[in-house]
């Protein structure tokens, strides 16, 4: 039995690194995919709208953990392949993030007053030019606060990857308690480590959010 010391803390930090890395991968992938989903969501083509609406409803209406199980266990049985944990986790979290970020983008785009669309149309701009030069630059600014808020939700969400054995911070904590038998010390430290990265981000997001409607952005993923 080991006691919790520097090297055990180092192991937690190593896990913490994977937490951050996974969050960044899912976040960047999610921004890109979510952007496409948002465009589809506001498209003039009904079928694109329906597909993106269904996508969002599915990924926002089912637990992240189940999505992960399907990605990791479900598909490996389906395809008779051993799916690498990183692949499963990156894909699952990216699709999860894309649904939320897509909704955020859609909300931002739709909050731009219709007069901006109308006026740019009257300057003979194509739909693509209207989006690119008038609508999206303004939507981007509006989307930033809720996007930062979601990043916090995503970082917390990565803890769920521990359940399939992926070694990020939470799993590192579990493993350390298994060898040190000190859950009393370790899990609170794990919590503190998450807090150190999430709290500043939350505050930053709240600072950006000032000026917007009070009840926006206060529901949060667990």
Partner 1 sequence: MSLVALRKVCKSFGKHKILKDINLTIEKGEVLSIIGRSGSGKSTLLRCINGLEKIDSGEIIVNGQVVTQSRNVLRKLHREVGIVFQSYNLFPHLTIEENITLGLTHGKGISLVTAKIIAHSSLQLVHMSDKANDYPARLSGGQQQRAAIARAIAMEPVLLLFDEITSALDPELKSEVVHVLEDLAVQNRTMILVTHEMAFARRSGTQLVFMHDGRIWEKGHPEDLFQSPKTEELKLFLSSVMI
Partner 2 sequence: MNYVFQFGTVLDHAPLLLYGAWSTIWMTAFGTVGGLFIAIFCVFLGATGSKSVRLLVESYVEIIRNTPFLVQLFVLYFSLPALGIRLNADQAAVIGLSVSFGGYATEILRSGIEAVSRGQIEAGRSLGLHRIMIFRHIVMPQAIKIIYPALSSQITILLLGSSVVSAISATELTAISNSLQSQTFRSFEFYFVAAGMYLIMSALLKLFLNTFYWLYFIRGRNN
The values of phi and psi at residue 4, to 5°, are -75, 115
Q: What's the min distance (Å) between Cβ of 7 and partner 2? A: 21
> Mapped to the 3 state alphabet, what secondary structure does 82-135 carry?
CCCHHHHHHHHHHHHHHHHHHHHHHHHHHCCCHHHHHHHHHCCCCHHHHHHHHH
Q: Does 118 bind partner 1 (CB under 8 A)?
A: yes
- Whichever of 140 and 199 has its CB closer to partner 2, that residue is 199
* 129, interface contact from partner 1, partner 2, none, CB < 5-8 Å by kind: partner 1
Integer Cα distance of 117 and 187 in angstroms: 52
Which of 33-49 are b and which e, b meaning 16 or more Cβ less than 10 Å from the residue's Cβ? bbbebbbbbeeeeeebe
The C-alpha atoms of residue 161 and residue 168 are separated, in whole angstroms, by: 7
Closer to partner 1 at the Cβ: 43 or 121?
121
Provide the binding-site residues for partner 2, judged by CB under 8 A: 57-58, 61-67, 69-70, 73-80, 152, 156-160, 162-163, 170, 173-174, 177, 183-184, 187-188, 190-191, 194-195, 198-199, 202, 214-215, 218-222
**Shortest reach from residue 42's CB to partner 1, in Å:** 17
- Which residue, 134 or 151, is less far from partner 1 as judged by CB? 134
Distances (CA, A) of 9 to 113, 125, 143, 156, 215: 51, 58, 37, 20, 39
Interface stretch with partner 1, choices 1-9, 13-21, 91-99, 124-132 (CB under 8 A): 124-132
CB–CB of 201/23 below 8 Å?
no
- 75 interface partner picked from partner 2, partner 1, none, CB below 5 to 8 A per type: partner 2
Q: Which residues bind partner 1 (CB under 8 A)?
A: 115-116, 118-126, 129, 133-134, 137-138, 141
């Amino acid at each position: 039995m080991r006691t919790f010391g520097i090297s055990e803390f180092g192991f937690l930090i190593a896990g913490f690194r994977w937490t951050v890395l996974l969050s960044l991968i899912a976040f960047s992938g999610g921004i890109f995919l979510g952007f496409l989903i948002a465009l589809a969501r506001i498209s003039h083509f009904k079928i694109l709208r329906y597909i993106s609406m269904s996508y969002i409803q599915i990924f926002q209406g089912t637990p992240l953990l189940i999505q992960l199980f399907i990605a990791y266990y479900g598909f490996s049985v389906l395809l008779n392949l051993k799916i690498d944990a990183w692949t499963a986790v990156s894909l699952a979290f990216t699709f999860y993030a894309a649904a939320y970020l897509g909704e955020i983008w859609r909300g931002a785009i739709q909050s731009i007053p219709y007069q901006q669309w109308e006026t740019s149309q009257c300057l003979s701009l194509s739909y693509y030019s209207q989006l690119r030069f008038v609508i999206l630059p303004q939507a981007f600014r509006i989307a930033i606060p809720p996007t930062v808020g979601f990043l916090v939700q995503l970082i917390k969400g990565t803890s769920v990857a521990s359940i399939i054995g992926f070694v990020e911070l939470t799993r590192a904590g579990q493993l350390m308690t298994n060898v040190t038998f000190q859950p009393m010390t370790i899990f609170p430290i794990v919590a503190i480590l998450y807090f150190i990265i999430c709290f500043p981000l939350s505050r930053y997001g709240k600072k950006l959010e000032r000026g917007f409607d009070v009840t926006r952005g206060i529901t949060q993923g667990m």
